[in-house]
Amino acid sequence: MEDILSYQLIITFIMALVWALLFLHKPEVRREMLVLSTLSLILLPLSLTASSIAEEITVTLAQIQFIDLLFIFASAGIGGVIFHEIFGKHYHRLPKNKKKKASEQSIMSQYWLLRLIFLLLAFVWTVLLLSIFFDLETPFATFIAAIFVVVYIASHRHDLFVDSLMSGAITAFLVLIGGAVAGLFFHPEGLTSLLLVAGALGLALGPAYEYIRRFELV
C-alpha cells in the first residue's frame, strides 16, 4: 500500500478533487480555472529547475513527477477561483478607462491571454532570480515572488487585494486539511513546501485573471 500511496499523493488527490468540484459547481469560473491551471502547468515547472541551474536543466525537468504537476495544476485553478466560490462573487467588467484611447483598450481586451502569459513569466523569472542570486529554496522563492505580484497588482487595483489574501490563505488551508488527512496514514513530510507553493499560487493567481481582464468581483 505504501508503495502506491504517499503523504504528498493523498494531499494532491484531495486538491484535485476540490478542483473538480469547483469546476463542476460554477460554470462561470471554468475558463479561468482551465487557463490558470494550464498555463501554470506549462510555465511553473521551470521554477523547479532553479536549484539546479548549474547542472543539466533537462535532467531536473525529467525528474519532475506527475504528482508535482498535478499539485501545481490543481492549486493554480483553486487559487484562481476559490474566493469567488466561497464568497459568492461574480464577474463584472470595469467601466472603460477614459484616460486611455479606445484602440488601446481594444488591444488590451483582445490580447488578454498574452498579457496573462507575460505576467506568469514575470512570476517564474522572479522565482528563478531569487533562487539563484539569494540562494533561496524554490518554495520560499515562490512565495516571495507571489508577494511581488500582489504588490504590483494591488498598486493598480486596490479592490483585488482582499481577493489575493483570501485566495492565498484558503488555498493553503485546503493543503493543511489534506495534510491532516494524509497524516492519519503517513508520517508528514514536505508539508511546509506544499503550503508555501499553494499559498503563493493563491496570492498571485487569485487576482491575476480579474486584473488582466479588467473584471471586478461583486
- Sorted by where each begins, the domain ranges of the chain are 7-217
Q: Cell numbers at residue 184, please? A: 492519519
Q: The cell 507575460 sits on which residue? A: 118
Query: Which position has the grid cell 515562490?
Result: 142
Say if residues 82 and 171 touch (Cβ distance below 8 Å).
Answer: yes
Amino acid in the structure at residue 88: G
Whether the CB-CB separation of 47 and 132 falls below 8 Å is answered with: no
Helix axis angle, 30-43 relative to 191-205, nearest 10°? 120
Label the pairing between strands 215-217 and 91-93: antiparallel
pLDDT in tens, the chain (218 residues): 444 478 899 999 999 999 999 999 989 999 999 999 999 988 776 655 544 444 444 444 445 678 888 999 999 999 999 998 999 887 888 776 555 555 555 555 568 899 999 999 999 999 989 988 898 888 999 999 999 999 999 999 999 999 999 999 999 999 999 999 999 989 888 899 999 999 999 999 999 999 999 898 88
Give the whole-angstrom CA distance, residue 71 versus residue 174.
12
CA–CA dist 202, 204 (Å, integer) = 6
Three cell numbers written together for 209: 485573471
